[in-house]
Amino acid sequence: MSLASKWVIPPPKKTLVVGIADKVVSNDPGAELVTYSLGSCLGITLYDPAKRIGGLLHVMLPNSAISAAKAASCPMMFVDTGVPRLFHALYELGADRARLVLKVAGGAQFLDPDGVFNIGERNQAALAELLRRNGFSIQAEDLGGVSSRTLRLQLDSGRVQIHSPGRPPYSL
Partner 1 sequence: MTANEIVAKLKPLPVSRAGLRLIKLLDQPDRDNERIIQILKCDAMLTAKVLRSCNSAGCALKGRVASVDQAVLLLGYNQILRIVLSVALAEAMRVPLKAYAFDGNDLWLHSFAAAAAAETLALDGLVSDIDPSSAYTAGLLHDIGKVALHQFLKPDLVLSLRQQIAEQGLSRPDAEKVVIGADHAEVGAGLLAQWELPAEIIEAVANHHHPLVEPRPRLSALTFMANLISHLAGSAPGWESYAVHLDGAAAAALGITRERVDYLVMAVRESIERAEAFIVVE
Q: Which residues would be at the binding site for partner 1 (CB under 8 A)?
A: 20-21, 37, 39-41, 60-63, 66-67, 70, 77, 108-112, 114, 116-117, 119-120, 145-148, 164-167
- Residue closer to partner 1 by CB (options 47, 78) is 78
CB of 74 to partner 1, least distance (A): 9
Q: HSE of 33 in the Cβ direction (CA atoms, 13 Å)? A: 29
CB of 138 to partner 1, least distance (A): 22
- Residue closer to partner 1 by CB (options 79, 89) is 79
Q: 31 to each of 65, 99, 129, how far by Cα in Å?
A: 34, 20, 31
Q: Name the DSSP class of 167.
A: S
Catalytic residue among 18, 24, 34, 41: 41
**Is residue 74 annotated as a catalytic residue, yes or no?**
no
- Residue closer to partner 1 by CB (options 50, 66) is 66
Q: 24 to each of 10, 40, 104, 126, how far by Cα in Å?
A: 23, 20, 15, 21
Torsion sign (Cα): 144, 104, 151, 82 = negative
CB of 162 to partner 1, least distance (A): 14
Q: Which residues does the annotation mark as catalytic?
A: 41
